[in-house]
Structure formats: structure tokens, C-alpha cells
Amino acid sequence: MYLATGDCDATARRVVDVGGTLVMAPMDVLDQGRMAIAKDPVGAQFGLWQGRAHVGCEVVNEPGALLRNDLITPDPEPARAFYASVFDFTLDGNPDLPDFDFTFLRRPDGHEIGGIMGVAGAPSSGWSTLFEVADTDAAVERAAKAGGKPGTPEDFVYGRLATITDPFGTEFSVGSRPEPQRG
């Protein structure tokens, strides 16, 4: 999971200044951009990307594309403080999920980039990726036929979700938006 930055080197310095670590120092990726790999104070790894010829995700928030990334961690408070300090993200609670320890991460312009979920029993901290699909059940069926190990789709306040482990052991989620209410 990469977070965009206008200045990879300055952001990498902020990462270290507020308690993160650099796994890989900033480096150029040909003419495509500049990147670094870091860990936040709770141990979750993420990348920094300063786009040049390749800006990053150009299609998001539609079926077949990235929908969001959420940090799952047993220790959410240091993570919230870190991402707010490094990226100037605002931290907003989620009234739709009153029983969950979930905070939206938003850029200063209000654009939501993901969230942080505190899960007391989580064995470690890491980013979870959700791809939007038109039909969660169909995506689960295709994943199984392709050698993946899908979980059972479940209805959730924001749609129908399922977790899939690909044949190489990488876990991600797929989700379709809720059906519109007919009145």
C-alpha cells in the first residue's frame, strides 16, 4: 500500500521524526516517480510514492478497481497520531459503526483515503485492501475457480463483502455496494 506525496524525501524525514522507520530510503524509479518504504510506530509497512510519469492509481472507487485501504491494528492511537502528523490527515469517527473502533483518514481537502481500525485481538498491524466489484458472490466464485481461497460473503452496512486469499497467500477483500432502496 502506497500513500501519495508531493515530496518523497521530505515525507520520509517526517516519518522518522514522528516515530516511524524507513525500510528503504527514497529512490528514483526511472522516470516513473520516487518511492520509499516505511513502517509506522505500530509496525505496519507502507510505501511513499511521488508520482512523475506514473501518478499511481488512476481508476478508483468503481467495480474492478481499488476502493480503499484500512490499517488494522491492536494499538490504533499511536497510528492515528502518526498518520495525522505525517500526512496532515484529519481523523473522523464513524457513526455508522458505533460498535467498532474505526477512524476515517481524510486529506486536508476532505477526500477519504482509508481508515484505521482498532482490533484488540489482531496479531499484528497491517494494511488491508478492498477492491470494489459489481457482484461479490460472482467475484468469490471466480476467485475459487482461479485457485484462491475465498471466505463467505457477508452483508455489511456499506455493502456485501468477502475476504479472499490468493494462491500466493496474499489476503484482500472484495465488496459490492448495497442495492439501492426502491421506494
Domain ranges of the chain: 2-51, 65-176
**pLDDT confidence tier of residue 75, bands split at 50, 70 and 90:** very high
pTM above 0.85, yes or no: yes
d(CA 82, CA 32): 27
Q: Which residue has the higher pLDDT, 57 or 36?
A: 36
> What element of type H or E holds 15?
helix 8-17
Give backbone dihedrals phi and psi of 58, rounded to 5 degrees, phi first: -105, -20
Does residue 5 carry a pLDDT above 80?
Answer: yes
Return the closest-CA partner of residue 80 out of 23, 46, 110, 40. Answer: 40
- Is the pLDDT assigned to residue 180 strictly greater than 80? no
Whether 65-176 and 2-51 are alike in CATH topology: the answer is: yes
Q: Per residue in 150-166, pLDDT tens?
A: 999 999 888 999 999 99
Check pLDDT > 90 for residue 94: no
Q: Is a pLDDT exceeding 70 seen at residue 29?
A: yes
Mean pLDDT of 80-96: 94
The CATH architecture annotation of domain 65-176 reads Roll (3.10)
Please tell me the predicted confidence (pLDDT) of residue 178: 87
Residue 56 CA to residue 163 CA, distance in Å, equals 24
The answer to whether 65 touches 131, Cβ cutoff 8 Å, is yes
The identity of residue 70, as a single letter, is D
Does the structure show a pLDDT above 90 at 25?
Answer: yes
Domain topology for 2-51: 2,3-Dihydroxybiphenyl 1,2-Dioxygenase; domain 1 (3.10.180)
The yes-or-no verdict on residue 182 having pLDDT over 80 is: no
Q: What is the pLDDT of residues 111-149, one digit of tens each?
A: 998 999 999 999 999 999 999 999 999 999 999 999 999
Rounded to 10°, the helix 8-17/76-87 angle is 140
The fraction of the chain above a pLDDT of 70, given in percent, is 98
Quote the mean pLDDT of the chain: 95
Cell 463483502 sits on residue: 161
Instruction: Give dist(CA 152, CA 132) in Å, integer.
Output: 16
CB 78 within 8 A of CB 66: no
